Amino acid sequence: MNIAFASSNGTSIDLHFGYAKKFYLYSVGKESSELLSVIDSSENPEGEQEKLNYKIGTISEADIVYCTQIGPTASKMVQAAGVHPVRVAEGESIVEAILKLQDMLNDSPAPWLLRIYHKAEARSV
* Residue 87, SS3 per DSSP: strand
Residue 83 sits in which domain range?
2-123
Q: How many Å apart are CA 109 and CA 26, to the nearest integer?
A: 19
Domain of 26, CATH number, reads 3.30.420.130
Count up the domains in the chain and report the number: 1
pLDDT tens across 10-58, in order?
999 999 999 999 999 999 999 999 999 999 999 989 988 999 999 999 9
Torsion sign, CA atoms 97, 98, 102, 103: negative
Cα three-residue angle 120-124-125, rounded to 5 degrees: 120
Q: What phi and psi, each to the nearest 5 degrees, are found at residue 114? A: -60, -40
Report strand pairing: 12-13 vs 92-93: antiparallel
pLDDT tens across 56-101, in order?
999 999 999 999 999 999 999 999 999 999 999 999 999 999 999 9
